[in-house]
Amino acid sequence: MIFAPLLPSVRARQTVALGLVWAAWAGGMPEAGLPARHLLDSVVVSTRTLGAAEAGVTSRHTLDLARFQALPNAGEDLFRGLARLPGLAADDISAQFWVRGAPHSEVRTRLDGVDLIEPFHLKDAQGALAIVDPSVISWLELATGGFAADHGDRLAGILTMETRGEAARRNTLNLSLTGAGATAQGALPARRGRWLVTARRGFPELALRASGQEQHAFPAYHDALAKVELDLAPGEILSAHVLTAGDRLRYTHPDSPALTSRYGSTYAWLRWRRGLATSRRSETVVSWSRLSWSRHGEGRSNGFPFSLRDERGLRTLTARTESAWPAGEHLQLRAGAEGSLGQADYAYALQRQQVRVVGGRLIAIPGDVTARLAPERRTAGAFTAARLGLGAGIAVEPSLRFDRLRPGEPGTWNPRLNAAWVQRGFVVRAAWGRYAQAQGLHELAVADGETTFGRADLAEHRVVSVERPLGAGLHARLEAYSRESLRIRPRWENLENAYDIFPEAQLDRFRVAPSGGSARGLELMLRGRTSRWNWHASYSLAKAEDRVEGRWLPRSRDQRHAVSADATFVPARDWQLSAAWSFHSGWPTTGTSYQLESLTGGRQVAVPIVGPAYGQRLPDYHRLDLRLARRFAGSWGEWRVHLDLFNAYGRRNLLGYLHRPAWRDGRLEVTREPRTQLPFLPSLGAAWEF
C-alpha cells in the first residue's frame, strides 16, 4: 500500500509572521517621550466635551502616558501598550487588539479628529506595528462600550488620540538595530501657533541578519506625521495635518510561493476648533485619504502552479462638524453631522489547483478566482444629545443617531441613554444603546467570491459600572457589560492558522454565518500609588460567542479569565524598574483530523478534515515583561536608555497547532506540533532629546 498525505506545504509560511515581528522591534525602537524631571511624573489626561469621552457619563479608559513610557513594551508600540487594559485581547504577533471579543475592525481609531483605516504596518503579519508614533501622543481615551451618539458606524469601541500641542522647542533623535526616527516641534513666528513633525523609518531585515537566522523575509516600513496649528483668536485654532505611512515585503522560500507586497496610507485634513475653554464649543474637520494594497505571489503550492495578483485602492473625502452649547443652568446640548464620499478599486486574480478524491482518483480541481470592481459609496450621519443635571449628583444624557451607511438601504436610527450618579468620589454609571456598522468599502472579500456588500451589522449595549477611591492612594472600579449582536454579516476565517501569508488559499478557510452573537463580562480594576510605587491590576470574567447553525460557537479571541498586573518602582531619582505580567485562559482553536480514502490501484491517501470549528482550547497564556530605565540629563540635553526583557521567564505560549499525518506500524497517526508565539527577547533602546 502506498500512503500519501494531502497536506499543504505551509510550515515555511507560518514562520514568517514570527520573524517579521521579532525583526520589527527586537532592536527596541525607542520612544521620544515627554520631558520629565521625574520618570513617574504624571501627564494629565483631559476630558473632552465633544465625543464619547464627554463629561463623565460615559465609561472609558484613559492612558497615563507616564505609565505607558515606564512599562515594558514590545517595539514601543502604542496599541500593544493598550492591550493591558481590561476587556482587551491581543497576541504577541499583531498590534491589533480585540475589544470584548470584537475584532479591531469594529473599533474606531481617531487621531486629531480624523478616522484612520487599518492603521498598521506589516499587514502580511496581521499588522505587527501601528503607524502612529506614541511619542507625539499627548492624551488618549478608549471607550469599550456604551458610548454616546457622537460616534456612529462602529459596534465595539472608540479610540481617541490627540497629538502634542506645546510651543516649547524640542527635538528628539533615536536609532536602533531596526530603524531610526526623529521628532521636532516649536512655535510659529510671533508665537501665533505651533508646529510638530515626526518621522520613522524601519528596516527590520537588518535585525534578521544580525539574529543569524536563515533569512527569507525582507521587510521595511516608514511613517511620518506633520501638523501646524494657527491661533486665530483666544480659544480658536485652525490646524492642518498630514499623515503618511507605507511598508513593503519581499518573501522567498523554496517550499512556498514567493510574495512581494506593498501597502500605503496617506491622510490630509483641516481642523477648526472654537471655544476650547468654554461651554460653547464647536469642531469641524474636512479630510481626504488614500490607501493602497498590493500583493503579488508566484511559484508552486502543493506541486501545482500558484499565482496571485491583488491590487486594491481606497479614496475617501469626509466632512464632519459638531457643536456643544448650554441651554440652561443644568442642560448642555450637542449636535453634529458628517458625510463622506468613497471609491474603492479591486483587481484580484488567484490561480491555483486543489487536489480532491473523486471516484477513487486524485483530481486536480482549478480554484481560480478573479474580480475587477470599482464600488462607490456616499454615507451620511447626524446626532443630537442632551445632558441634563437632575440634582443630587445625578446626570442623564439621552442621545439619538441616524446613519445612512449604504445606498439603497434604509437608514438606521440608534437611540442611546447614558446616566451617572456622583457622590464624594463614588461614581455609578449606566449605559444602554443600539449601534450599527456597515461593511467597509475596502472590506469586500473578493478572494472568497464576494461581489456585493452585506447589510449593516447591528448590536445593543448594556453597561453598568461602579468606581470609588478606597483611601491610601487606592482606587477601584467594577464594570459589567453585555453586547448582543442582533445582526451579523457572514465572514471568512482561517480556523486553524490565521497567520499564513496566503490566507485565502488555505484548506482551513471557512465561511462563518452567525444568526446572532453575545459578549458578556465582568471587569474589576484596581490601582494604587505611593511616592516610589505605581501599580495597576485587573481581572476580567468574560464570554464572547456567536450562534451558528443552532449552536453557540466561541469567538477566536474568547478568553474566559484574564488577569493583568503591572508595577513601577523608582529606587532613585533617575532610575526606574518596571514589571508587567499578563494571563488569560487559552483561546479556542480548531483541530484537523485525517481520513484514509482508497484509490484505484490499492493506494490510499490521507484526506484532512478541519473541525469542528473552535472545538478545542489552547493552553493558558501567561508572560512576564521587565524594563530597567535610566535617565541622564545635562547641558547637552537628556538621554533615556532602557533594557527590556520580553517574556522574561521564556514561557512557551501557543498560537495553535500544525497537524502532520504519518503511516506507522500499519496505521495512520497524526502528530500535533505546537505553533508558538514569541520567545524570550531582550532589547535595548535609547533616545536623545535636546
Q: Quick one: pLDDT at residue 184?
A: 96
Q: How would you classify residue 573: left for phi > 0, otherwise alpha for psi between -120 and 50, otherwise beta?
A: alpha
Q: 10 Å Cβ neighbour count for 346?
A: 21
- Per-residue pLDDT reduced to its tens digit, 552-569: 999 999 999 999 999 999
Q: What is the pLDDT confidence band of residue 24, given thresholds at 50, 70 and 90?
A: low
H helix runs in 41-163, sequence order: 65-70, 78-82
Q: How far apart are CA 497 and CA 508, in angstroms?
A: 7
CA 546 centroid distance within chain: 21
Run of H or E including 259: strand 256-274
Q: Quick one: pLDDT at residue 74?
A: 74
Does some domain include residue 579?
Answer: yes
Domain count, the chain: 1
**Across all residues in the chain, what is the average pLDDT?**
88
Mean pLDDT score, 182-207: 91
Q: How far apart are CA 284 and CA 320, in angstroms?
A: 6
Q: What is the 3-state secondary structure (H, E, C) of 560-605?
A: CEEEEEEEEECCCCCEEEEEEEEEECCCEECCEEEEEEECCCCCEE
- Per-residue pLDDT reduced to its tens digit, 511-549: 999 999 999 999 999 999 998 999 999 999 999 999 999
Q: Quick one: pLDDT at residue 20?
A: 58
Q: What is the pLDDT confidence band of residue 23, given thresholds at 50, 70 and 90?
A: low
Q: Quick one: pLDDT at residue 277?
A: 73
Q: How far apart are CA 290 and CA 241, in angstroms?
A: 14
Q: Quick one: pLDDT at residue 634?
A: 86
Range with the lowest mean pLDDT among 92-106, 181-195, 213-227, 616-630? 213-227
Is residue 37 packed enough to be buried (19+ CB in 10 Å), middle (13-18) or exposed (0-12)?
A: exposed
Q: What is the pLDDT confidence band of residue 8, given thresholds at 50, 70 and 90?
A: very low
Q: Quick one: pLDDT at residue 250?
A: 94
Whether residue 7 has pLDDT greater than 80: no
Q: Find where cell 513610557 sits.
A: 69
For residue 389, what are the contacts with CB-CB under 8 A and spacing of at least 6?
A: 330, 331, 395
Whether residue 42 has pLDDT greater than 50: no
278 vs 94 pLDDT, higher one: 94
H helix runs in 379-511, sequence order: none
CA angle 345, 346, 350 (to 5 degrees): 165
604-610 and 3-5: which strand pairing?
parallel
CA 16 centroid distance within chain: 20
Q: Quick one: pLDDT at residue 521?
A: 98
Q: Quick one: pLDDT at residue 550?
A: 93
Q: Quick one: pLDDT at residue 203?
A: 80
CA 507, 509, 514, 520 dihedral sign is: positive
Whether residue 67 has pLDDT greater than 90: no
CATH number at residue 557: 2.40.170.20
Answering whether pTM is above 0.95, one says no
Domain hosting 182: range is 3-465+475-689
Whether residue 1 has pLDDT greater than 50: no
- Per-residue pLDDT reduced to its tens digit, 389-418: 999 999 999 999 999 988 778 899 999 999
Q: Quick one: pLDDT at residue 306?
A: 92
Q: How far apart are CA 545 and CA 551, in angstroms?
A: 10
Asked if 541 and 65 count as a contact pair (C-beta separation under 8 A), the reply is: no
Q: Quick one: pLDDT at residue 39?
A: 30
Q: What is the pLDDT confidence band of residue 16, given thresholds at 50, 70 and 90?
A: low
Q: Quick one: pLDDT at residue 477?
A: 96
Asked if 484 and 463 count as a contact pair (C-beta separation under 8 A), the reply is: no
Whether residue 70 has pLDDT greater than 50: yes
- Per-residue pLDDT reduced to its tens digit, 253-267: 888 899 999 999 999
Does some domain include residue 406?
Answer: yes
Is residue 3 packed enough to be buried (19+ CB in 10 Å), middle (13-18) or exposed (0-12)?
A: middle
Q: Quick one: pLDDT at residue 159?
A: 96
Q: What is the pLDDT confidence band of residue 615, given thresholds at 50, 70 and 90?
A: very high
Asked if 141 and 53 count as a contact pair (C-beta separation under 8 A), the reply is: yes
Q: Quick one: pLDDT at residue 363?
A: 87
pLDDT above 70 coverage of the chain, percent:
90
- Per-residue pLDDT reduced to its tens digit, 82-116: 999 999 999 999 999 999 999 999 999 999 999 99
Q: Quick one: pLDDT at residue 611?
A: 86
pLDDT above 90 coverage of the chain, percent:
68
Amino acid at 200: R
Q: Quick one: pLDDT at residue 32?
A: 33
Is residue 56 packed enough to be buried (19+ CB in 10 Å), middle (13-18) or exposed (0-12)?
A: middle
CA 152 centroid distance within chain: 18
The three-class DSSP label of residue 26 is: coil
Does some domain include residue 20?
Answer: yes
Does some domain include residue 470?
Answer: no
Q: Quick one: pLDDT at residue 54?
A: 37
- Per-residue pLDDT reduced to its tens digit, 318-370: 999 999 999 999 999 999 999 999 999 999 999 998 888 888 888 888 889 99
